[in-house]
Structure 1
Amino acid sequence: MSETRKEEIVEAALKRFSHFGIQKTTMNEIADDLRITKANLYYYYADKSTLLGDCVKSVMDEMSTREYEIIQANEGGLLGTLFSLFELHNNYSKDYYMLSLYEKVEIIRELSMQCMVQEFDQRNIKNLRILFERAIETKELVLIDLEMATYAFHEIIKGLSMFHRISDIITGIPNIDNTEKILVSQKRAARFILEGKLISKQS
């Protein structure tokens, strides 16, 4: 099976899903965009849910690479790196906002999709742990319980995202302006949570 052809299909599907949403996108339209037959498309992807899974995985893999680069750069220390990660996620949310509303779609109930969502959560937790551990080792941060702090921070940041997007998920009507509200809230929360825990480098 041609991986190049699958990548082309995923790219075309992402454009459709991102612009029109998952429910309003048909396999016929994706085939037309690629100028291939529907039979040819179904040879690679038997149904839309399988294609959607590869689309989500493609975005997650690309984001993971960018996250690694930001974490390695460590620009601005802990808070600066966290803000850069928030901004990265915000940019992806803007680019794929219609795709990010997949929670309302029945497809999300499939086990494979749930596993990917859980994998994304676990990766975020792992990244946070790496950042907090490094900040502790470099005497930038003081934490009593690393594991508790990591999970609590993750839950709060994720909860803020859901808080600003819940109406979109329920109604299915996207409001991309919510992405900026999420970013502002996450930065404000991070400052508040870490206040008193960050050690000043000024002598």
Structure 2
Amino acid sequence: MVETDKKRETIIEGAIKRFIHYGISKTTMNEIAEDLSVSKPSLYYYFPDKSSLVLGVIEKIFNDYFAHLDPGKATEISLEQCMANYVEIRHRFFQKYYMLHLSSGSPDSSLNSDELKKHFMTMHAKNIQLHADLFQVAIDKNEIAPTDAYKTAELYLDSLAGITSLCILHGNKELFPSKKEMKNILERQLSLSSIFIKGLKNQ
């Protein structure tokens, strides 16, 4: 069982490398098998089709993302600092996996399955709930005024995503945003986060 999990993890890691370099839609299962020097039957044993492999990749990325967050620290530091930490973690993942274009959908119709969409929605809801829990902790600590924590988290995350979209839209239209553009996205998100949290504080 351990060996099976290790083999599956190796395939996912190999897929991520090729997806980042060439894009999901331009990558075939045969190319991944060749990269890893595994037989096609072996690859299809773990992942029956490309869609299931992409799902495995998405699960790993989200699991890694949530593992980097530490909600337990919310009681030790201010909400503003906690959210700033989360913004930086989110940005690192965005930068690392930008070429996968996971948030903008894929031109490969085989990847736009209901299962993948459902998983994205589940992970998105989990992220909202995690942030909502942090807002609730801040409310309980009397750090911010009472509010609907879940709706506040939704608005907060949508605002951060909006900054990312606008910066890319007004960027240099390169395949990958420049270091300057990436820095601009992070700085704007941190500024928005600070203003947002200060606006929620008890007067």
Q: Aligning the two structures, in what range does the TM-score lie when normalised by the shorter sequence?
A: 0.7 to 0.9
Residue aligning to 2:26: 24
Contact 2:128 2:150 in 1 (8 A): no
2:80 is the alignment partner of 1:84: no
| Aligned-partner SS, 1:174 | coil
Residue aligning to 1:173: 175
Residue aligning to 2:167: 164
What is the CA distance between 1:56 and its match in structure 2? 0.6
Matched length: 196
1:140 is aligned, of 140, 143, 151, to: 143
Residue aligning to 1:94: 95
Contact 1:90 1:180 in 2 (8 A): no
What is the CA distance between 1:36 and its match in structure 2? 1.2
Q: Normalising by structure 1, report the TM-score.
A: 0.83
- Cα distance in 2 for partners of 1:3, 1:82 equals 34
Give the direction of change, closer, same or farther, for the CA distance of 1:34–1:146 in structure 2 (3 Å limit). Answer: closer
Deviations 1:70-89 (A, max 9, x none): x2123641011111111111
- Cα distance in 2 for partners of 1:107, 1:43 equals 19
- Shifted more, 181-190 versus 147-156: the winner is 147-156
1:190 is aligned, of 185, 189, 193, to: 193
| Aligned-partner SS, 1:103 | coil
Give the direction of change, closer, same or farther, for the CA distance of 1:76–1:129 in structure 2 (3 Å limit). Answer: same
- Cα distance in 1 for partners of 2:134, 2:152 equals 12
Residue aligning to 1:155: 158
- Cα distance in 2 for partners of 1:103, 1:198 equals 36
Residue aligning to 2:123: 120
| Amino-acid identity (%) | 26
- Cα distance in 1 for partners of 2:167, 2:138 equals 29
Q: Normalising by structure 2, report the TM-score.
A: 0.83
Q: Give the gaps of 5 or more residues in structure 1.
A: none
Q: Give the gaps of 5 or more residues in structure 2.
A: none
